[in-house]
Structure 1
Amino acid sequence: MSNPPNIQAELAKERNRAAAERTLMAWIRTCLALISFGFGIESIVTAIRDLQIDETINPIRFSRILGLAFVALGTYAMIMAVIQHQQELRRLQRNEIYIYKSRPSLGVIVAIALGCIGIYAFIGILLRAIFQ
């Protein structure tokens, strides 16, 4: 005869599952904002290029790269958030003692990438201001 499930352990698993769902939803919102921001930058650059009459003015390649970087970062973060979410759900489904295991933080990775994009944007804007 098997032991009845420990109600406290099962409720703790359900709370952890709900927390994992909330975390995934927060990442989805963050990624959607990054992708939208990148798409917005790209759309503005395309509109400016389409309205450009004087062919001697160099189109803004910097802004296009910046927009694509935001879209790429948002897409990468979305994929990694889903993978981490699935791993967490699998860990919760196992009927073993739950032991915390440290793993790389997706938030830190995204923060570092955003910092790199920010540095790239700062240098690009600075160089454009100096050389124009």
Structure 2
Amino acid sequence: MSFEDLSPGDKMASMRTSMAFQRTRMAAERTMMAILRTSLSMIGFGFTIYTFFTNFLNRSDARGLLAAQAPSRFGMALIALGILLMALGIANHYRYMQTLRGMREDFKRRGFLQGGDGFPVSLTLIVSFLMVLLGLWALLSIGLRAVASGVL
């Protein structure tokens, strides 16, 4: 049975179902954006803490207040946590979108939905992947500086 063979009431139900899939996809995108914001905040905060306290410990009146390795360890921990959160968010989003695409294809195959090009490429997922790379760069940068200065 195709979409054209449906009664007007069934066509309306099909359109509502199609829009429900789009709303669900957009909700998944918003969830991914929330994960992106949270992990980016953690990565940025970790890098900021490292920079601030490293500069703070270089002052003569601040020596001895903190262990020399504390800023790099805490900054690296926050960055690593942000990267982990982002990686888990990417994996969860990808798995969920694959399930949603499969359900949509099943509905199309049964004739409940009209055909179409499906879901567009997730720009949020692409940006999230780039943020993982940025976080890895920040983690590597801090780690190399700490090793070079003999702190780690």
Q: What is the TM-score with the length of structure 1 in the denominator?
A: 0.61
- Structure 1 equivalent of residue 25 of structure 2: 17
Does 2:72 align with 1:64?
yes
Note the C-alpha offset of 1:62: 2.5
Which runs of 5 or more structure 1 residues have no equivalent in the other structure? 98-132
Alignment of 1:75 onto 2:83: yes
Aligned-residue Cα RMSD (Å) equals 2.4
Question: Bigger CA drift: 63-72 or 18-27?
Answer: 63-72
1:43 to 51, 66, 84: 51
- Residue in structure 2 matched with residue 124 of structure 1 by the alignment: none
Whole-angstrom CA distance in 2 between matches of 1:52 and 1:33: 31
1:67–1:52 distance in 2 versus 1, CA, 3 Å: same
CA distance, structure 2, for counterparts of residue 7 and residue 71 of structure 1: 44
State whether residues 56 and 62 of structure 2, in contact with CA within 8 Å, keep that contact through their aligned partners in structure 1: no
* 1:54 Cα offset (Å): 9.0
Give the total of aligned pairs: 95
Percent identity reads 28
Q: Which amino acid in 2 is paired with 1:19?
A: A
The corresponding residue for 1:3 is 2
Give, in whole Å, the separation in 2 of the partners of 1:86 and 1:65.
Answer: 31
Contact 1:45 1:60 (C-alpha < 8 Å) held by counterparts: no
Instruction: Name the aligned partner's letter for residue 18 of structure 1.
Output: M
SS at match of 2:2: coil
TM-score normalised by structure 2 residue count: 0.54
Which has the larger Rg?
2
Q: What amino acid maps onto 1:24 in structure 2?
A: M
Deviation string, structure 1 residues 65-111 (Cα, Å, up to 9, x no partner) = 111111100111111111211111111111347xxxxxxxxxxxxxx
Question: What amino acid is the match of 2:2?
Answer: N
Specify whether residues 49 and 32 from structure 1 end up closer, same or farther in structure 2 by C-alpha distance, changes over 3 A only: same
- Take 1:88 and 1:33, find their aligned partners in 2: how far apart are those partners? 24
Q: CA deviation at 1:53?
A: 7.9
Counterpart contact for 2:54–2:71, Cα < 8 Å: no
